[in-house]
């Protein structure tokens, strides 16, 4: 076990929230031992991992992944999801609570934490805001928070009842936890499967207007102002939503936001062939929306990139477009897509690592900095390696990636989780 | 051309080719033995997830008149088993050796998905709100019989365009043949975006009628009433129904078409509907000939 | 040149280049007059005779033949046209489209059908025409009149009335038109541009 022998990441450029520098990193006992140029292994026979030409960064942190366990193991399990995460450079993943049963009580939190032992990354359960995610009664957030849950969301749906959402925010602020919202006004969105606009009209499929998301973003900003509580917005996808959050931040309201890679790389035109692999909620939007999300990532309006990794088995995605479940894989492709944003690499890594760590309240353990004494959660990224996305070769149990056949640039070479090299030369070690 | 999933698959010359072939097949259908050996040995399968006896029989007759063999999978019979995935059903059918699959489904895009899973040619017989290409071709044929060329003709499509696959296909086909197409409907019955559609839009039927060569009335579906798209059928008829007063506004030679079945008293007044020299519902015989033309084009013409 | 001929002669769908004129317009006219007399003689008159021209090459010849019948015998012989596209045996092997709508003016049962075509080659077109004709009734007999028989039969088909027997090579082509009959070659479309320079 490398916990005994140690690791030496040699020849890379360390990038974290303090800056970039050429340095080797020595790891032992689950912690970073040393960071500096030309380190040797100190005679301990540490395993040397070549990081030449690579960036060595704190392990990535995903604020938003659906690991499907318990209840939908045919799509993904915590184990297979964590393997996909590790291959994507992630050392921590927040697991969404829309499982079956949903994560709305201490018992389910404990189950997930138990299943997460032995995973290839940290799997941190998020709790539901309402019982059963049904949107009528508050879930026992305190008892879940006592087990370490820091983030609560009904993701999959938004909380429709404004009064209930206000109560939830007030209650949450007393607990020091963060509420996150899947913004979707049920009335406006009802029956839609695509972004409402040129493509939904051409394809003859009912659409979801941008306003269905923006209405709830606006409402929750107002409720955050009313209650003084913080609010995190999941998967923002429209120009209007980004503008609202920008305004709210300028006014000093404590909101944060994330965006998924598919919302800054794909538009509704991708669904022209009716392939349900392009069906997602919120849906793929317009060029203008994609541009606004990219701008929001660049100017700090959007704090984090989160994958919204949503596996579905092939038979589910072979259904007619309006019957297929929405969702796309994301853990193994997000890094390359994010590097293609044409932002400086430290900014991209910030969006993928330390900034989501802060939102999730994981900053003590995850997200760096890469410094002696810190837990050894690291990823080694080759920013110029090209590779072709082949669905059948992904570690996820499912195959629903919208990037099948695409050549991407940027790949994880090694991933170190708690001092263990879980990915070496692009291969998962277990 | 391998598939007919939408009118656009036909390209600019394609519609003319179908019209010409339809003439030939009208002649074939008029014979005492209405059959030619053109598709002998080929198999055409109907896969109808939405019940429609008329359309299915029309395709079946078309295939048989071309001497093709036919097979039938319809949701009415038990051969489309519930629970079996669409893909599994389609792959099983293909394994039996078929040359063409005619697909009707209530979900848009299913024929396109089927086309990805099989080697056979796929014909869209109606998919959700999206398209119904053979009906549009039939509409073109019928209109040409009455108007001659459709180039520069003004054709209005009145009613629930938003949910009408026939309307979408008609727009594409008429525009391709050079007609000016006007959609007349309340905003709630139009698609959210008409960007890129070769149409004009009007909410004033009276203003549009005097300059038309043809008007196509869409069925105002009773089933849609709960969706609050129009306040009431009465209001719809008052603003968009072809009443006798409105029928008088039409030019003498204008043609009135209705896909049928008609809601008398809703989109068309009962007394206007009974002027059977003016209202034309689907011509069943021509429908078979149009579908023969499509099948021949896909399987015979190379 | 008949589209059908052009499409069924290698290189399929090429452009015809004439090398020599084997019959001029007068020769064709004289041949049709002779054939008209032969038909009348063979059938002891023109009762119950129906002339059907095969699209497209046979149609103008059939029309002239019927005019000759009117001139020689004052007979008003029914004239029809037949497109055999739907009866061809190479559907699916290469692009097949009908040239024109078939028009058969009468019930053919009990009639003497005289098929008229410009060039008789492999015989496959006539085989298809026989199938088509029989779908319109049961003729008493079917006779075949062609302007040129160029040999190379692939099926047991023989003409009853021939304008000219013309031995040809398999890869040559024959074009019957208003001013006569030419012997030449079919050149692939992309070659045509080179030839024109």
Identify which of A72, A66, A138 has the alpha carbon closest to the alpha carbon of residue A100: A72
- pLDDT > 70 in chain A, percent: 98
A321 touches chain B (CB under 8 A): yes
Tokens coding B161: 């365009």
Query: Which tens digit of pLDDT belongs to each residue from B237-294?
Result: 889 999 889 988 999 889 999 877 788 888 888 888 776 556 676 677 799 999 999 9
pLDDT, chain A, mean:
96
> CA–CA separation, B264 vs B271, rounded Å?
9
Full residue range of the structural domain in which residue C189 is found: 3-196
Query: Which tens digit of pLDDT belongs to each residue from B85-127?
Result: 889 889 999 998 999 999 999 999 999 999 999 999 999 999 9
Give the residue with greater pLDDT, A1 vs A406: A406
Beta-carbon separation of C101 and B27 below 8 A: yes
Q: Which residues of chain B make contact with C131, given a CB cutoff of 8 A?
A: 37
Chains touching B (3+ CB pairs < 8 Å):
A, C
pLDDT of A252: 97
> CA–CA separation, C51 vs C112, rounded Å?
8
Fold category of A2-56+372-388+409-428 in CATH:
Urease, subunit C; domain 1 (2.30.40)
Q: To 10 degrees, the CA torsion angle through C53, C58, C63, C68? A: -100
Q: The domain that contains C42 carries what CATH number?
A: 3.40.50.2020
* C63 in Cβ contact with C32 (< 8 Å): no
pLDDT band for position C72 (50/70/90)? very high
- Helical residues (DSSP H) of A118-189, grouped into ranges: 141-146, 162-175, 186-189
Q: With H, G, I as helix, E, B as strand and everything else as coil, classify residue C70.
A: helix
In total, how many domains does chain C have?
A: 1
Is residue A235 predicted with pLDDT exceeding 60?
yes
pLDDT band for position B178 (50/70/90)? very high
The one-character DSSP state at C154 is S
- pLDDT > 70 in chain B, percent: 94
Least confident of A30-39, A57-66, A213-222, B234-243: B234-243
Is residue A298 predicted with pLDDT exceeding 80?
yes
Chains touching A (3+ CB pairs < 8 Å):
B
pLDDT of C10: 65
- Residue A308 annotated to the active site: yes
Question: Looking at CA atoms only, how far is residue A261 from chain B in angstroms?
Answer: 26
Average pLDDT over residues B194-207: 95
- Give the Cα-Cα-Cα angle C124, C130, C135 (nearest 5 degrees): 135
pLDDT of B301: 75
Instruction: Measure Cα distances from C93 to B235, C7, C110 in Å.
Output: 58, 12, 35
pLDDT band for position A1 (50/70/90)? very low
Q: Which residues make beta-bridge pairs with A258?
A: A304
Is residue A2 predicted with pLDDT exceeding 70?
no
pLDDT of C126: 96
Is residue A262 predicted with pLDDT exceeding 60?
yes
Instruction: Measure Cα distances from C24 to B5, C21, C55, C181 in Å.
Output: 51, 7, 22, 6
Q: What is the helix (H) or strand (E) element at residue A55, kind and residue range? A: strand A55-58
Domains parsed from chain B with CATH numbers = 7-132+284-299 (3.40.50.1370), 135-280 (3.40.50.1370)
* A416 in Cβ contact with A42 (< 8 Å): no
Tokens coding A157: 């749906």
What are the φ and ψ backbone dihedral angles of A178, each rounded to 5 degrees?
Answer: -110, 135
Q: Which residue has the tokens 């609560």?
A: A152
Query: Which tens digit of pLDDT belongs to each residue from A128-172?
Result: 999 999 999 999 999 999 999 999 999 999 999 999 999 999 999
Residue from B1, B22, B26, B27 to probe the interface with C (highest C Cβ count within 10 Å): B27
Q: Which residues make beta-bridge pairs with A350?
A: none
Is residue C197 predicted with pLDDT exceeding 90?
no
Is residue B200 predicted with pLDDT exceeding 90?
yes
Is residue C190 predicted with pLDDT exceeding 90?
no
A2-56+372-388+409-428 and A59-359: identical CATH topology: no
Is residue C92 predicted with pLDDT exceeding 60?
yes
C86 touches chain B (CB under 8 A): yes
Query: Which tens digit of pLDDT belongs to each residue from C153-165?
Result: 999 999 999 999 9
Is residue A380 predicted with pLDDT exceeding 50?
yes
* A206 in Cβ contact with A190 (< 8 Å): no
The answer to whether domain A59-359 has CATH 3.20.20.140 is yes
Q: Which residue has the tokens 């709830």?
A: A216
Chains B and A touch (3+ CB pairs under 8 A): yes
pLDDT of C90: 85
Going from N- to C-terminal start, the domains of chain A cover 2-56+372-388+409-428, 59-359
pLDDT band for position A243 (50/70/90)? very high
In A, minimum Cα distance to B171 occurs at: A202
Q: Which residue has the tokens 């129906």?
A: C50
pLDDT of B276: 55
Question: Looking at CA atoms only, how far is residue C97 from chain B in angstroms?
Answer: 6
> CA–CA separation, A82 vs A77, rounded Å?
8
Q: Which residues make beta-bridge pairs with B43?
A: B69
* A14 in Cβ contact with A376 (< 8 Å): no
Report the residue from C96, C135, C137 with minimal CB separation from B300.
C96
pTM: 0.90
pLDDT band for position B220 (50/70/90)? confident
Average pLDDT over residues A16-24: 96
Query: Which tens digit of pLDDT belongs to each residue from B128-161?
Result: 999 999 999 999 999 999 999 999 999 999 999 9
Instruction: Measure Cα distances from C6 to A163, C127, C180, C189 in Å.
Output: 80, 18, 17, 12
The contacts of residue B33 (CB under 8 Å, 6+ apart) are C135
3-state helix, strand, coil in chain A (%, to 5): 35, 25, 45
pLDDT band for position C106 (50/70/90)? confident
* A217 in Cβ contact with A239 (< 8 Å): no
């Amino acid at each position: 076990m490398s916990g005994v022998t140690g690791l030496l990441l040699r020849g890379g450029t360390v990038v974290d929230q303090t800056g970039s520098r050429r340095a080797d990193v020595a790891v032992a006992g689950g912690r970073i031992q040393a960071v500096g140029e030309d380190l040797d292994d100190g005679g301990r026979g540490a395993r040397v991992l070549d990081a030449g030409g690579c960036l060595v960064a704190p392990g990535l942190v995903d604020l938003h992944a659906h690991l499907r366990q318990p209840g939908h193991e045919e799509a993904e399990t915590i184990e297979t999801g964590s393997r996909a995460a590790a291959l994507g450079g992630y050392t921590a993943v927040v697991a969404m609570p829309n499982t079956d049963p949903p994560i709305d009580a201490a018992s389910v939190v404990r189950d997930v934490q138990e299943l997460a032992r032995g995973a290839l990354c940290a799997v941190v359960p998020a709790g539901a805001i309402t019982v059963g995610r049904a949107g009528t009664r508050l879930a026992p957030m305190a008892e879940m928070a006592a087990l370490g849950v820091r983030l609560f969301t009904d993701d999959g749906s938004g909380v429709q009842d404004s009064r209930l959402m206000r109560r939830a925010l007030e209650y949450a602020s007393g607990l020091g936890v963060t509420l996150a919202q899947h913004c979707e006004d049920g009335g406006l969105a009802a029956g839609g499967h695509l972004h409402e606009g040129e493509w939904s009209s051409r394809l003859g499929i009912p659409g979801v207007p941008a306003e269905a998301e923006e209405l709830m973003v606006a409402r929750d900003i107002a409720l955050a102002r009313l209650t003084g509580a913080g609010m995190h917005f999941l998967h923002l996808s429209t120009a209007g939503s980004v503008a609202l959050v920008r305004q709210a931040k300028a006014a000093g309201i404590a909101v944060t936001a994330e965006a998924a890679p598919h919302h800054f790389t794909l538009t509704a035109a991708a669904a022209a062939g009716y392939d349900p692999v392009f069906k997602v909620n919120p849906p793929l939007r317009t060029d203008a929306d994609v541009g606004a999300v990219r701008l929001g990532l660049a100017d700090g309006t959007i704090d984090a990139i989160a994958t919204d990794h949503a596996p579905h088995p092939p038979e589910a995605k072979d259904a007619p477009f309006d019957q297929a479940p929405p969702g796309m894989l994301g853990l193994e492709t997000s890094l390359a897509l994010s590097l293609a944003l044409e932002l400086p690499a430290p900014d991209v890594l910030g969006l993928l690592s330390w900034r989501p760590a802060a939102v999730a309240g994981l900053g003590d353990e995850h997200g760096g900095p890469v410094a002696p004494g810190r837990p050894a959660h690291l990823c080694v990224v080759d920013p110029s390696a090209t590779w072709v996305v082949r669905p059948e070769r992904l570690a996820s149990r499912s195959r629903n990636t919208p990037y099948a056949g695409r050549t991407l640039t940027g790949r994880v070479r090694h991933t170190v989780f708690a001092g263990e090299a879980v990915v070496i030369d692009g291969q998962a070690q277990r | 051309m391998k598939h007919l999933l939408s009118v656009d698959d036909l390209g600019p010359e394609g519609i003319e080719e179908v019209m010409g072939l339809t003439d030939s097949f009208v002649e074939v259908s008029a014979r005492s033995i209405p059959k030619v050996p053109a598709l002998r040995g080929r198999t055409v399968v109907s896969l109808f997830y939405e019940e429609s006896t008329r359309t299915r029989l029309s395709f079946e007759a078309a295939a048989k008149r071309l001497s093709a063999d036919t097979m039938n999978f319809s949701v009415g019979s038990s051969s489309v088993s519930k629970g079996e995935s669409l893909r599994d059903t389609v792959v099983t059918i293909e394994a039996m050796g078929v040359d063409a699959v005619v697909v009707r489904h209530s979900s848009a895009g299913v024929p396109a998905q089927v086309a990805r899973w099989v080697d056979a040619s796929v014909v869209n017989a109606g998919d959700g709100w999206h398209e119904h290409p053979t009906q549009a071709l039939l509409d073109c044929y019928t209109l040409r019989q009455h108007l001659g060329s459709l180039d520069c003709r003004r054709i209005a499509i009145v009613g629930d365009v938003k949910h009408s696959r026939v309307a979408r296909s008609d727009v594409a086909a008429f525009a391709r043949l050079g007609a000016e197409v006007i959609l007349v409907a309340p905003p709630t019955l139009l698609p959210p975006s008409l960007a890129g559609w070769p149409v004009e839009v009007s909410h004033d039927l009276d203003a549009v009628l005097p300059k038309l060569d043809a008007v196509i009335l869409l069925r105002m579906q009773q089933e849609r009433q709960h969706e609050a798209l129009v306040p009431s059928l009465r209001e719809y008829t008052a603003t968009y129904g072809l009443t006798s007063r409105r029928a008088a506004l039409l030019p003498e030679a204008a043609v009135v078409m209705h896909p049928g079945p008609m809601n008398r008293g809703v989109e068309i007044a009962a007394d206007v509907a009974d002027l059977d020299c003016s209202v034309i519902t689907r011509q069943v015989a021509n429908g078979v000939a149009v579908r023969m033309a499509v099948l021949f084009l896909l399987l015979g013409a190379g | 040149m008949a589209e059908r001929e052009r499409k069924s002669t290698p290189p399929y769908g090429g452009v015809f280049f004439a090398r020599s004129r084997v019959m001029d317009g007068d020769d064709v006219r004289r041949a049709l007059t002779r054939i008209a007399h032969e038909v009348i003689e063979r059938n002891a008159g023109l009762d119950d005779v129906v002339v059907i021209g095969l699209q497209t090459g046979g149609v103008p010849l059939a029309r002239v033949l019927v005019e000759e019948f009117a001139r020689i015998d004052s007979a008003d012989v029914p004239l029809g046209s037949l497109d055999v596209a739907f009866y061809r045996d190479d559907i699916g092997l290469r692009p097949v489209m009908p040239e024109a709508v078939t028009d058969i003016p009468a019930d053919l049962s009990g009639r003497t059908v005289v098929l008229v075509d410009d060039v008789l080659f492999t015989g496959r077109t006539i085989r298809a025409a026989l199938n088509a004709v029989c779908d319109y009734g049961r003729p008493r007999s079917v006779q075949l009149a062609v302007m040129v028989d160029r040999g190379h039969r692939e099926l047991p088909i023989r003409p009853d009335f021939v304008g000219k027997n013309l031995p040809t090579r398999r890869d040559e082509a024959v074009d019957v038109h208003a001013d006569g009959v030419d012997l030449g070659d079919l050149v692939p479309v992309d070659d045509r541009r080179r030839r024109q320079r």
